[in-house]
């Protein structure tokens, strides 16, 4: 084995050490350099080597083996591979110094990327595959030093009867992974313009992953239309990404498989950190990506914990971004900042007064010094949160900027059910009296304490209860039956409490909602009978403070439901099976794979981070939200009782909640029960635009029903989503069938809406509405003073009711943790990919798809103007008024940062 090379040519002179370098051995002889490549068992003469600068002119002379596969008549082909720099490029760590040097040398001699061109069609004479055309791509100096890209080029000779290139196989002989953005293949005008291959994919070193990567050209093909030379490659690629369902997944793999949520707990560390498995008959849940980690020693049903959670390599995106916002920012927040926040204050201490809350924005909190000397500068990663000298200082949320006291107002409390953070829970009251469906022998009397007389007192002068019901004027936030079974369990945990709750609203002639009553219920507990009480708005001092306390409890319920269900479950969690199935069953060249891909990218990485540090046992959600260790378990209950695929579609969701009825004469085919319902009005604009784009796209590839029915990849994809990804709901009669283009349009529109519009509506307003936590408390820590009061509590409440409210609110530690997380989750990355903003490169050469996308993009730009006009309309009281935050969450585009607007393509944060 050669261990040293002295290269002296022209004015360049270098000595390079090569200890046991495996990919190739380089030697010199006379005026030439030779490379021995063990993998390919050949000797190559390297021409025009210029050591010491980017060697654009290195060419591999074909060996006798390669020449034998080439006809006497050939044509030159140029291949250019564009690679994006990563965080590690140009950074030499001591451990990796030798390997970096070796990769540099390999690039110098043009032996780091091996490529093979694959013919699109089989040999018409033999019916077999045509031999691939092989060669090396060499690094060039096409891009300037400050650019984020690197170019590799290869000059190859292909037989004139080779035909059109259908795919390219790439093998990475570096020691490190690389991110290939795209490849351009120029067959010298034989088939018109150059062939584009969109990759946007990691390729690990062949020392890790022995399987070379294949990338198909940008033209999309249904399975039945696949060029004959690519059929076996298409099938093999899908087999690779499915894996065999065994073994622990490794970081370089790109295998997509399913597992239950059995990795949220950590029973090996503590009995208190055990959590039940979610997924299965007892606790239904969507499936997540399988990692194959070892089982827990204590609980064989649980997976062991790790801070490195596998996701398929192409789902990991943090290193490829030029401005590393996304996952890196969240990681810095969760892994570095939050522990310091926790140590900066007494987690159990409440705020002594409202001035102390205001100081979080005006003065900030000094963070304790980090004990980790290698910790990154948080001010560089989180400049909005961490100021000079490790000062944690929050920006004032938009809600408080506009109206300091808006959080106290009943009208704002009601308005936010339609135009706030969780606008998809309120529903029409259709039955009276209100009754629980829970077992009265366990939970006490079923009938609500909210009576007809009470309602008519509150709406006196407007109408009767019967008329209000008939005219669809009564609405409810109902957390009674959902939370009541957890009251006893949650109350066993120190520092939190829980009730079942119902909150009633009346639709005023102005189009706004008026809160009427809040009912809080405690089931029989500790030998005490059921307790329930109704609280109403009041001018009387004691009742007013009780009303405010009751609102704090309801807001905690609504905020918890928002985070655990509207946000986590309905978007992040339920979308993951779509991602897994899409990669397992739809080839990368399948048109539906390419339609869905922009809306599914990045989500698995975010979900993995959440399982590591947010929704895990003793994670931030459990520490700061009222259900504590039952938080994610409650989302399983909702999934079991309420989740249906068909109801994720916005029109179906509105109809199911009584917020709309079908009306062919109305815009969008729906008549809204509340005309000024900002989430519904703006959401339907986005929904219709998505549906039109999907319709144009799907009917282009599927003009007839039989093409849908005979597409084996498509049918396998939909079957697996229903029966494996959402296996616990597989028997639901509500699953759409997939037999016609219209069926497919409905399914795809549903998926894209959830990943884009719905997620935007429940995510990017989090800081604006909940960054001032009294407006959206995540937890209520104390019981109502009227539940089993003693004389001391009565006296304290009468003397200092404000202190009762502050004690009920989150503690200082909880508030800061949540505020920091919401700030980051509400932030748009500088390189955010917005719905309809940029066409995917693999569609650009298809005029029909390009025109359809331009129409889609134009509609979204029009929607921007429509929403602006609505927010300026003084007749729309739920989005216009003094101090009112306009509803902009579904405005399609945004600048970077916390803006309270913008609809990204996918769930990328």
List CB contacts of 233: < 8 A, sequence separation 6 or more. 118, 167, 214, 216
Burial (CB count within 10 angstroms: exposed 0-12, middle 13-18, buried 19+), residue 747: buried
597 is catalytic: no
Of 182, 763, 775, 871, which is the active-site residue? 763
Could you tell me the sign of the dihedral formed by the alpha carbons of 45, 50, 54, 56, in that order?
negative
Whole-number Å distance between alpha carbons of 488 and 446: 17
Buried b (16+ CB within 10 A) or exposed e, 89-116: eeeeeeeeebbbbbbebbbbbbbbbbbb
Element at 443 (helix H, strand E):
helix 440-443
List CB contacts of 442: < 8 A, sequence separation 6 or more. 523, 524
Considering only CA atoms, which of 205, 142, 147 is closest in space to residue 176? 205
759 is catalytic: yes
Strand segments (E) across 271-361: 288-289
Structural tokens at position 86: 């990563």
567 is catalytic: yes
> Given the structure tokens 């010491």, which residue do they identify?
52
Of 255, 400, 748, 909, which is the active-site residue? 909
For 615-649, the DSSP string reads: SSTTSHHHHHSTTGGGHHHHHHHHHHHH--SGGGS
Of 138, 204, 562, 572, which is the active-site residue? 572
Question: What interhelical angle do 678-701 and 410-419 show, nearest 10?
Answer: 0
Of 480, 567, 590, 597, which is the active-site residue? 567
- How far CA 426 is from CA of 475, 558, 677, 756, in Å, comes to 7, 10, 11, 21
Residues linked to residue 502 through DSSP beta bridges, in sequence order: 478, 519
Of 255, 759, 828, 863, which is the active-site residue? 759
CA 81 to chain CA centroid, Å, is: 29
> Given the structure tokens 């205001």, which residue do they identify?
358
When computed from its CA atoms, the radius of gyration of the chain, rounded to whole angstroms, is 31
Residue pair 753/316 in contact by the 8 Å Cβ criterion: no
List CB contacts of 315: < 8 A, sequence separation 6 or more. 579, 601, 602, 603, 604, 605
Phi, psi of 195 (to 5 degrees): -90, 130
Strand segments (E) across 837-892: none
Q: Which residues are catalytic?
A: 567, 572, 759, 763, 909
């Amino acid at each position: 084995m050669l261990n040293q090379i002295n290269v002296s040519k022209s004015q360049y002179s270098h000595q390079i050490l090569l200890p046991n370098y495996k990919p190739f051995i380089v030697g010199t002889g006379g005026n030439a350099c030779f490379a021995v490549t063990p993998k390919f068992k050949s000797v190559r003469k390297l021409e025009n080597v210029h050591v010491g600068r980017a060697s654009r002119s290195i060419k591999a002379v074909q060996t006798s083996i390669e020449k034998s596969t080439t006809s006497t008549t050939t044509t030159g082909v140029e291949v250019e591979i564009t690679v994006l720099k990563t965080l590690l490029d140009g950074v030499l760590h001591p451990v990796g110094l030798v390997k970096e040097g070796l990769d540099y040398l390999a690039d110098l001699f043009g032996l780091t990327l091996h490529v093979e061109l694959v013919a699109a069609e089989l040999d018409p004479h033999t019916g077999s595959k045509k031999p691939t055309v092989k060669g090396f791509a060499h690094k060039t100096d096409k891009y300037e030093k400050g650019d984020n890209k690197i170019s590799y080029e290869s000059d190859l000779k292909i037989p004139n009867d080779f035909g059109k290139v259908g795919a390219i196989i790439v093998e990475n002989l570096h020691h490190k992974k690389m991110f290939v953005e795209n490849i351009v293949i120029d067959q010298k005008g034989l088939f018109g313009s150059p062939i584009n291959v969109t990759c946007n994919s990691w390729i690990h070193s062949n020392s890790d992953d022995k399987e070379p990567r294949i990338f198909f050209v940008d033209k999309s093909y249904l399975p039945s239309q696949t060029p004959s030379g690519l059929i076996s490659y298409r099938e093999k690629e899908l087999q690779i990404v499915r894996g065999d369902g065994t073994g622990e997944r490794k970081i370089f793999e790109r295998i997509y498989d399913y597992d239950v949520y059995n990795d949220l707990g950590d029973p090996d560390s503590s009995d208190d950190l055990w959590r039940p498995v979610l997924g299965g008959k007892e606790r239904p849940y969507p499936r997540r990506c399988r990692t194959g980690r070892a089982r827990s020693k204590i609980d064989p049903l649980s997976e062991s914990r790790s801070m490195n959670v596998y996701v398929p390599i192409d789902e990991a995106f943090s290193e490829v971004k030029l401005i590393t916002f996304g996952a890196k920012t969240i990681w810095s927040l969760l892994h570095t900042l939050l522990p310091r926040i926790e140590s900066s204050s007494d987690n159990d201490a409440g705020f002594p007064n409202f001035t102390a809350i205001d100081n979080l924005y005006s003065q900030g909190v000094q963070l304790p010094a980090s004990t980790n000397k290698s910790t990154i500068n948080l001010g560089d990663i989180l400049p909005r949160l961490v100021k000079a000298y490790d000062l944690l200082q929050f920006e004032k949320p938009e809600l408080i900027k506009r109206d300091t006291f808006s959080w106290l107002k009943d009208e704002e409390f009601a308005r936010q059910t339609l135009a706030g953070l969780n606008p998809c829970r309120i529903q029409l009251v259709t039955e009276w009296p209100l009754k629980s469906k829970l077992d009265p022998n366990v939970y006490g009397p079923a009938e609500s304490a909210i009576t007809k007389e009470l309602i008519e007192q509150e709406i006196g002068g407007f109408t009767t209860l019967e008329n209000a019901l008939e005219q669809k004027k009564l609405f409810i936030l109902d957390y009674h039956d959902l939370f009541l079974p957890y009251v006893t369990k949650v109350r066993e945990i120190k520092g939190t409490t829980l009730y079942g709750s119902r909150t009633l609203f009346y639709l005023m002639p102005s189009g706004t909602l008026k809160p009427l009553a809040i009912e809080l219920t405690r089931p029989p507990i500790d030998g005490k009978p059921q307790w329930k009480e109704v609280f109403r708005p009041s001018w009387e001092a004691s009742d007013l403070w009780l009303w405010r306390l009751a609102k704090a409890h309801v807001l905690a319920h609504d905020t918890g439901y928002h985070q655990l269900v509207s946000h986590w479950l309905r978007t992040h969690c339920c979308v993951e099976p779509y991602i897994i199935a899409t990669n397992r069953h739809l080839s990368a060249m399948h048109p539906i794979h390419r339609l869905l891909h922009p809306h599914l990218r990045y989500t698995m990485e975010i979900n993995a981070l959440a399982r590591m540090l947010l929704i895990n046992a003793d994670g931030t959600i459990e520490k700061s939200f009222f259900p504590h260790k039952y938080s994610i378990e409650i989302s399983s209950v909702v999934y079991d009782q309420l989740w249906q695929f068909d109801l994720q579609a916005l029109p179906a969701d509105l109809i199911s909640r009584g917020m709309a009825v079908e009306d062919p004469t109305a815009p969008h085919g729906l008549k809204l029960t509340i005309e000024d319902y900002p989430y519904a009005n703006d959401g339907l604009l986005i929904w219709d635009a998505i549906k039109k784009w999907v319709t144009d796209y799907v009917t282009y590839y599927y003009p007839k029903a039989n093409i849908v029915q005979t597409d084996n990849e498509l049918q396998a994809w939909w079957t697996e989503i229903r029966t494996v990804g959402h296996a616990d709901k597989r028997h639901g009669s509500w699953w759409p069938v997939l037999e016609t283009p219209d069926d497919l349009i409905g399914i795809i529109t549903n998926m894209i809406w959830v990943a884009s519009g719905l997620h935007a509506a429940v995510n990017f307003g989090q800081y604006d509405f909940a960054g001032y936590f009294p407006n959206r408390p995540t937890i209520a820590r104390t019981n109502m003073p009227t539940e089993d009061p003693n004389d001391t509590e009565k006296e304290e409440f009468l003397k200092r009711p404000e202190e009762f409210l502050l004690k009920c609110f989150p503690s200082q530690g909880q508030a800061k943790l949540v505020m920091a997380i919401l700030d980051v989750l509400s932030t748009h990355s500088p390189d955010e990919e917005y719905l309809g903003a940029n066409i995917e490169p693999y569609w650009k050469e298809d005029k029909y798809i390009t025109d359809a996308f331009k129409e889609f993009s134009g509609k979204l730009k029009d929607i921007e103007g429509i929403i602006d006009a609505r927010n300026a309309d003084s007749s729309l009281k739920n989005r216009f008024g003094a101090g009112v935050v306009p509803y902009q969450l579904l405005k399609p585009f945004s600048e970077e940062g916390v803006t309270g607007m913008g609809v990204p393509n996918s769930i990328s944060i």
